């Protein structure tokens, strides 16, 4: 908001210069973007969306009035003597979108504006056009009330109808663009057609011009969400819509017309004909909020003198009536009437904020409040997520933060069969149309972004929320492409493979205390035969059903290529359910054992098994039959070729036996090994080589 310094001084005789005024007001929560010196010095304020009342010179004058305890000199709104009335019918068909509409007919004489007005408008960034248009812009900048002037003689039937647009209706706006209208858009129409888009811009057919003799001056209050929605759909943002969509003042429309009438008379530009037409079907009462001195002291950490409370609130436009209750004999309290222009004030805490920022946050104590109870321990989820981040970071991954919104096409491959991603009712764009059903789409996009910038070795992970048919849940996911490890002069780089990715997924499970194993899986976004499901290990046939933890595998190349990843390069991906991990976790405590006192005995066996049999299944069978002295199982060779039948593979395993209380004998180890071989033969048709 560009505030013209001489204009502000007309409203409140604040001491100092533009720099000092800007500094003092900025201490009250308004950011100063720039200060331009000159005869019409300008202060450019950044006004937050919750303070539409400050998007005017009068609004900033109230802030200055509270700072220096000076009264605001409101602009002249003396109604000049009116001429004979001319017929104008005003009808509100949709009071939900337009709660109040005021209009008045004026006889006008078009011409240039006085130099003082043209200079102020120019300084405020508005181009002077004509005295009639300039007055509406002047009132907008001074009072914050948008207005529009129709050529009275171009309004069919001399009527104004506030209604929703009709099916297929179109309007050419003042900028010369022909715009299609939708049924939920508010228009200001005459007896035949739409003459303006309510709260945004007037129409070309009712525009005032050099031959205009009479105008119908509009001043209204519109429903903010309706203006915001229409502005977005039409791609049309104006000074009027910026104010209306943030929340205007329902009491301001007749004041705006009165101010315009006073300016017309002072400039000799016109006179009113008849009285103001004010359509206000459901008048609103000003809200009242009870304010307690004890509440001020509690929220601010310091009591504020009652005189200062009343002075500050009254200067800002609030009506304050002291109140004293019998059960609070030593506490001051007030009943505060909130003015209609303060749409951001609805509760006691809002009033405390007003008192605090003008009393001075720098005057509040800087001591911490006394702790009456120990701080509760952080949720287990925080420690678990931190541990998982440490594991992935130690594995060479970088954490990524992607949007929870994404385009529908990107989410489709990662949705459950027959289930669409949750749609957003009012998306910012088609790229943010749905809530993500998985963390992987965002990570794949981030991976492709890095790859297009000549980054070949990519490791990214993210922990966050995802949205499925079961509702919102938390997950951790990672993507990996390129080399499995850093380059070294002693050997060529090795490309990452499935076992690298699955090893990282298993390391996550192990870190949080979950005993997990892999099983073949059919996942839509992973390559068949190169995808696995992680679930909790079943230690015995009578154990409860395994809990599904997540998936890991090779991303379908078509999905990666559709997101911009180069063809011919694999992307390995995994996603684990953090809630499932939490429910399956036993303990993250580490049991420390002393170094073994007795030697171990190693037996190597080579078995012919089906080449599609997962090694994890072989290990599971061995564990189910092995004695407690088996401390380690490790695969050290896998061979297919001469001497091995088609469809079979030679799998070599190293079994390590050791007892904690004695030295094992060869007979004990041999018996255990024979039992293991027999179990593999019976369960999987394996043959010992």
3-state secondary structure of 113: coil
Closest to 476 in 3D by CA, of 565, 380, 584, 387: 387
Both 193 and 271 in one domain: the answer is: yes
Both 446 and 580 in one domain: the answer is: yes
> Highest mean pLDDT range out of 377-386, 438-447, 578-587?
438-447
Q: Which residues make Cβ contacts (< 8 Å) with residue 326, sequence separation at least 6?
A: none
Reported as a pLDDT band with limits 50, 70 and 90, residue 337 is very high
The per-residue DSSP string of 121-174 comes to HHHTT-----HHHHHHHHHHHHHS--EEEEEGGGSGGGEEEEEEPPTT-EEEBT
Query: Which pLDDT score, from 0 to 100, does residue 287 have?
Result: 94
pLDDT digits (tens, 9 = 90+) for 113-124: 999 999 999 999
What values do phi and psi take at 212, rounded to 5?
A: -70, 130
**Which tokens hold the place of 385?**
């997520």
Mean pLDDT over each residue of the chain, to the nearest integer: 90
* CATH code of the domain covering residue 613: 3.30.70.380
pLDDT at 617 over 90: no
The mean pLDDT value for 361-366 works out to 85
**Euclidean distance between CA atoms 648 and 309, whole angstroms:** 88
Task: Classify residue 508: in a domain, yes or no.
Answer: yes
pLDDT at 590 over 90: no
Mean pLDDT lowest among 89-93, 150-154, 231-235, 515-519: 515-519
Both 507 and 628 in one domain: the answer is: no
Both 30 and 153 in one domain: the answer is: no
Reported as a pLDDT band with limits 50, 70 and 90, residue 376 is confident
Reported as a pLDDT band with limits 50, 70 and 90, residue 489 is confident
Both 615 and 578 in one domain: the answer is: no
Reported as a pLDDT band with limits 50, 70 and 90, residue 233 is very high
pTM assigned to the model: 0.65
For residues 128 and 138, the answer to whether their CB atoms sit within 8 Å is no
Task: Classify residue 590: in a domain, yes or no.
Answer: no
How far the first Cα of the chain sits from its last, in Å, is 86
The mean pLDDT value for 239-247 works out to 94
Percentage, residues of the chain above pLDDT 70: 97
CA 9 to chain centre: 40
Tell me, what DSSP letter sits at residue 55?
A: S
For residues 142 and 126, the answer to whether their CB atoms sit within 8 Å is no
Query: Which pLDDT score, from 0 to 100, does residue 541 have?
Result: 45
Both 275 and 144 in one domain: the answer is: yes
Both 294 and 272 in one domain: the answer is: no
User: Considering its fold, how many domains does the chain have in total?
Assistant: 5
CA 170 to chain centre: 34
For residues 196 and 203, the answer to whether their CB atoms sit within 8 Å is yes
Q: In which element (H, E) is residue 431 found?
A: none
pLDDT at 331 over 80: no
Query: Which pLDDT score, from 0 to 100, does residue 568 have?
Result: 84
Both 201 and 315 in one domain: the answer is: no
* CATH code of the domain covering residue 488: 3.30.930.10
Domain of residue 680 covers 601-688
pLDDT digits (tens, 9 = 90+) for 520-574: 889 989 999 889 999 887 654 444 568 889 999 999 999 999 988 888 889 999 9
Both 138 and 267 in one domain: the answer is: yes
- The pairing of strands 601-610 and 648-657 is antiparallel
Strand order in the sheet with 194-197: 89-92, 159-164, 186-189, 194-197, 201-202
* CATH code of the domain covering residue 299: 3.30.56.10
* CATH code of the domain covering residue 182: 3.50.40.10
The mean pLDDT value for 71-87 works out to 92
Domain boundary among 232, 254, 279: 279
pLDDT at 280 over 60: yes
Query: Which pLDDT score, from 0 to 100, does residue 328 have?
Result: 55
For residues 135 and 264, the answer to whether their CB atoms sit within 8 Å is yes
Helices (H) and strands (E) counted in the chain, each on its own, are: 19, 30
pLDDT at 611 over 90: no
Task: Classify residue 635: in a domain, yes or no.
Answer: yes
Both 570 and 625 in one domain: the answer is: no
Reported as a pLDDT band with limits 50, 70 and 90, residue 518 is confident
Domain boundary among 361, 389, 421: 361
Query: Which pLDDT score, from 0 to 100, does residue 326 have?
Result: 46
Both 565 and 641 in one domain: the answer is: no
Task: Classify residue 370: in a domain, yes or no.
Answer: no
Q: What is the CA radius of gyration of the chain?
A: 38
Task: Classify residue 497: in a domain, yes or no.
Answer: yes
Both 268 and 300 in one domain: the answer is: no
Q: In which element (H, E) is residue 86 found?
A: none
Task: Classify residue 366: in a domain, yes or no.
Answer: no
pLDDT at 675 over 50: yes
Query: Which pLDDT score, from 0 to 100, does residue 170 have?
Result: 94
Handedness of CA 261, 265, 268, 274 (dihedral sign): positive
Task: Classify residue 114: in a domain, yes or no.
Answer: yes
The mean pLDDT value for 656-683 works out to 92
Cβ burial 169-194 (10 Å sphere, 16+ → b, else e): bebebeeeeebebeeebbbbbbeeeb
Domain boundary among 261, 279, 297: 279
The mean pLDDT value for 656-666 works out to 92
pLDDT at 321 over 50: yes
Task: Classify residue 74: in a domain, yes or no.
Answer: no
For residues 551 and 531, the answer to whether their CB atoms sit within 8 Å is yes
């Amino acid at each position: 908001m560009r505030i013209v310094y001489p204009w502000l001084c007309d409203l409140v005789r604040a001491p100092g210069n533009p720099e000092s005024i800007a500094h003092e007001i900025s201490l009250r929560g308004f950011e100063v973007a720039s200060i331009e010196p000159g005869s019409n010095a300008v202060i450019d304020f950044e006004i937050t969306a919750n303070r539409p009342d400050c998007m005017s010179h009068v609004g900033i004058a109230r802030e200055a009035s509270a700072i220096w305890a000076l009264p605001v000199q409101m602009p002249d709104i003396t109604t000049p003597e009116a001429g004979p009335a001319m017929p104008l019918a005003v009808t509100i068909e949709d009071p939900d979108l337009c709660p109040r509409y005021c209009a008045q007919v004026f006889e006008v004489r078009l011409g240039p504006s006085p130099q003082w007005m043209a200079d102020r408008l120019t300084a405020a960034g508005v181009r002077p056009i004509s005295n009639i248009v300039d007055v509406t812009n002047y009132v907008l900048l001074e009072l914050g009330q948008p207005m529009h002037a129709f050529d009275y003689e171009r309004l069919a039937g001399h009527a104004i109808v506030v209604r929703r647009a009709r099916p297929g209706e179109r309007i050419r706006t003042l900028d010369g663009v022909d715009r299609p209208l939708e049924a939920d858009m508010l228009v200001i129409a005459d007896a035949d057609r739409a003459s303006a888009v309510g709260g945004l811009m007037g129409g070309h057919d009712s525009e005032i011009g050099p031959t205009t003799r009479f105008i119908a001056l509009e001043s209204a209050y519109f429903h903010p969400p309706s203006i915001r929605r229409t502005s977005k759909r039409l791609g049309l943002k104006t000074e009027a819509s910026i104010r209306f969509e943030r929340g205007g003042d329902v009491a301001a429309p007749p004041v705006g017309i009165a101010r315009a009438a006073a300016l017309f008379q002072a400039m000799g530009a016109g006179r009113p004909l008849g009285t103001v037409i004010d359509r206000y079907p459901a008048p609103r009462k000003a809200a009242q909020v009870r304010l307690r001195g004890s509440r001020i002291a509690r929220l601010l950490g310091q009591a504020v003198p009652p005189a200062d409370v009343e002075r500050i609130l009254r200067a800002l436009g609030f009506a304050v009536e002291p109140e004293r209750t019998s059960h609070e004999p030593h506490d001051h309290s007030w009943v505060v009437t909130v003015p209609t222009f303060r749409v951001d004030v609805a509760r006691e805490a809002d009033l405390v904020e007003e008192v605090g920022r003008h009393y001075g946050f720098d005057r509040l104590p800087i001591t911490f409040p006394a702790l009456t109870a120990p701080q509760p321990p952080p949720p287990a989820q925080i420690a678990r997520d931190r541990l998982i981040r440490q594991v992935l970071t130690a594995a060479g991954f970088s954490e990524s933060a992607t949007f929870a919104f994404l385009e529908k096409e990107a989410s489709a491959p990662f949705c459950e069969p027959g289930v669409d991603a949750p749609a957003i009712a009012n998306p910012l764009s088609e790229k943010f149309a749905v809530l993500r059903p998985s963390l992987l789409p965002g990570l794949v996009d981030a991976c492709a972004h890095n790859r297009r910038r000549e980054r070949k070795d990519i490791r990214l992970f993210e922990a966050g929320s995802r949205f499925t048919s079961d509702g919102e849940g938390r997950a951790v996911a990672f993507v990996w492409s390129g080399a499995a490890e850093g380059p070294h002069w002693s050997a060529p780089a090795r490309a990452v493979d499935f076992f690298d990715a699955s090893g990282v997924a298993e390391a996550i499970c192990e870190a949080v205390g979950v005993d997990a194993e892999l099983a073949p899986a059919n996942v839509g976004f992973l390559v068949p035969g190169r995808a696995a499901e992680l679930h909790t290990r079943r230690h015995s046939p009578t154990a409860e059903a395994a809990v599904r933890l997540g998936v890991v595998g090779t991303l379908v190349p078509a999905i990666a290529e559709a997101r911009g990843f180069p063809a011919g390069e694999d992307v390995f991906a995994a996603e684990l359910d953090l809630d499932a991990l939490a429910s399956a976790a036993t303990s993250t405590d580490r049991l420390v054992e002393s170094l073994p006192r007795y030697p171990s005995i190693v037996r190597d066996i080579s078995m012919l098994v089906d080449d599609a049999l997962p090694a994890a299944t072989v290990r599971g069978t061995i564990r189910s039959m092995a004695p407690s002295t088996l401390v380690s199982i490790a695969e050290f060779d896998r061979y297919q070729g001469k001497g091995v039948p088609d469809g079979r593979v030679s799998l070599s395993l190293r079994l390590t036996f050791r007892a904690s209380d004695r030295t094992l004998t060869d007979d004990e180890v041999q018996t255990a090994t024979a039992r293991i071989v027999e179990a593999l033969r019976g369960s999987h048709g394996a043959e010992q080589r």
